[in-house]
Amino acid sequence: MAITTEPPRSTNATGASNIPPPPAPPSAATLEIKNPATGELVGSVPVMSAAEVDQAVARARAASTEWGALSHAERGTELGKFRRAIAESCDDLAELIHRENGKPRLEALVEVLMALSHLDHAIKRAEKAMAPKKVSSGIMANYRATVGYFPLGVIAVIGPWNYPIFTPMGSIAYALAAGNAVVFKPSELTPLIGVRLAEIAARTIATPHVLQVVTGAGATGAALSKSTVDKIAFTGSTATGKRIMAAASERLTPVLLELGGKDAMIVADDADVDKAAEGAVFGALTNAGQACVSIERIYVVDAIYDRFVAKVVDEVRALKVGGDDGHLGAMTSLAQVAIVKDHLQDAVARGAKVLCGGPDAISGNYIQPTVLVDVTQDMKVMKEETFGPVVPIARVSSVDEAVRLSNDSKYGLGSSVWGKHAVRELANRVKAGMTSINSVVAFAGITSLPFGGVGESGFGRIHGDEGIREFTRTKSTAEEVFSLPLAVTSFKLPKNAYERVRGLIQTLYGGGLVARAGDAWRKIF
């Protein structure tokens, strides 16, 4: 949606502006949020202009000074109040997510739990993760060398619609705990949960404006990307991630990009077939397949392929779509439904066989979960992010072939491997930021594991200690503890300095006794 960011100006006869622009009035445009399952109006939010975004960033800048100066314990107390208020509102929040996004209430409540576990972890870990580290000073033995971590200032968090509280909280919690203020731009499809989070923060955290929300569509996000924030944490599609990185290059604003995925699952012949099938069905169909770490393609070794496929089909046929007790809810947007339909039609046209569901089993925002076999690597469903309830299963002759096909992707977010013998080695061969072994998507729930991808799935890490330090600036300090006659930081060197430096090189790294002792030491240990 396009918004006008320039206030109206009068011009003189030459066409040049002669009246300074008035302060930007709040935008009159609004976004209406409709329940994808019923079409009912859930609420509306303003479409904020670039000027309004800049004002929010300025308020956050002021807040960051006070917030960043607090001790970890003080920030922990404030964030603890925030955490408790979210927990106390969990039913309301789950209901809002359910109505705004279309997912079942239970799935929405699990999302709130996951968001809280990350907030809790960030609060508890921030002090340790940001503790100054004494590091070796190497040949500068007369120095104390330390690495320190300090808040960056203001973080822009731009989020998607598929997990409207869990996904942004993966950045918001860690950024706040590290001492930054946050300006959050939720998806235009699910902004109400962001507005609610900012309201909870405003009434629980003593420092005002430490978490604000700016609402609108892509143009509001673009304005935030071009603003004076100190870092942009973006979660969304690869296409938007590239646009944000280009916009951020204007100010060299650092970016953290959590983008799309095409997660592969590999099932070796010694896997527990029943458990693997159960995992595949959950991994591919949770959140109606609208998860960045959904299982999007499955490679199964020939020896167990038929048993695996039969079990998957049984499991999928037992699932219910829609209704209060449905396993799969409504798809959040018709635009996403159209992408899924296109991928299914492409697969069928290229020879894939539909075992259940299929391109015709779509009605409005509801898609019946689909199992596809006879799939090949050139199909959209095996190459591009489908982001829907589809389980494509390919037969492979060996684990080596499965690894080759898994790694034949521009994406590299999550993955899953199943088997017994050498299964950890198998996990290490998959080119992805994260791998679950004999499970699916578990890495997202383990708060101390860094989360993020490689390739077109993005870079940077949220969650864990890395997720805290991602929102800090690293400061290296070198402090002289005692003086040496041969100081490399002074021009006042002895006359034979050249010979001494040369002697040092030979002693330490050449064939000298110290170097030989060092090599022997390294061989032993």
List the catalytic residues. Answer: 258, 292
Q: Nearest residue to ligand NAD, using CB?
A: 221
Q: Which is nearer to ligand NAD, 180 or 187 (CB)?
A: 187
Tokens 């100081």 correspond to 487
In the bound complex, what is the minimum distance in angstroms from residue 311's beta carbon to ligand NAD?
27
Find, among 122, 167, 331, the residue nearest to 259 by Cα.
167
Measured CA to CA, the distance from residue 424 to residue 428 in angstroms comes to 6
Please give the C-alpha separations between residue 470 and each of 151, 325, 449, in angstroms, as whole numbers: 10, 39, 13
Q: Which is nearer to ligand NAD, 293 or 373 (CB)?
A: 293
Q: Which is nearer to ligand NAD, 195 or 348 (CB)?
A: 195
Which residues contact residue 479 at a Cβ distance below 8 angstroms, ignoring those fewer than 6 apart? Answer: 143, 144, 145, 146
Is residue 270 a contact partner of residue 421, using CB atoms and an 8 Å limit?
yes
What residues make contact with ligand NAD under the rule CB under 6 A?
158-163, 167, 185, 187-188, 217-218, 221-222, 225, 235-237, 240, 243-244, 258-261, 292, 385, 387, 413, 453
Which residues contact residue 360 at a Cβ distance below 8 angstroms, ignoring those fewer than 6 apart? Answer: none
Q: Which is nearer to ligand NAD, 258 or 465 (CB)?
A: 258
In the bound complex, what is the minimum distance in angstroms from residue 305's beta carbon to ligand NAD?
28
In the bound complex, what is the minimum distance in angstroms from residue 167's beta carbon to ligand NAD?
5
In the bound complex, what is the minimum distance in angstroms from residue 13's beta carbon to ligand NAD?
37
Q: Which is nearer to ligand NAD, 252 or 513 (CB)?
A: 252
Is residue 432 a contact partner of residue 412, using CB atoms and an 8 Å limit?
yes
Which residues contact residue 224 at a Cβ distance below 8 angstroms, ignoring those fewer than 6 apart? Answer: 53, 57, 156, 158, 183, 185, 214, 232
Q: Would you call 88 exposed, middle or buried from its count of C-beta atoms within 10 A (0-12, 13-18, 19+)?
A: exposed
Q: Is 113 left (phi over 0), alpha (psi -120 to 50) or beta?
A: alpha
Q: Which is nearer to ligand NAD, 248 or 396 (CB)?
A: 248
Please give the C-alpha separations between residue 329 and each of 38, 180, 273, 388, 389, in angstroms, as whole numbers: 11, 36, 27, 11, 10
In the bound complex, what is the minimum distance in angstroms from residue 88's beta carbon to ligand NAD?
26
In the bound complex, what is the minimum distance in angstroms from residue 433's beta carbon to ligand NAD?
9
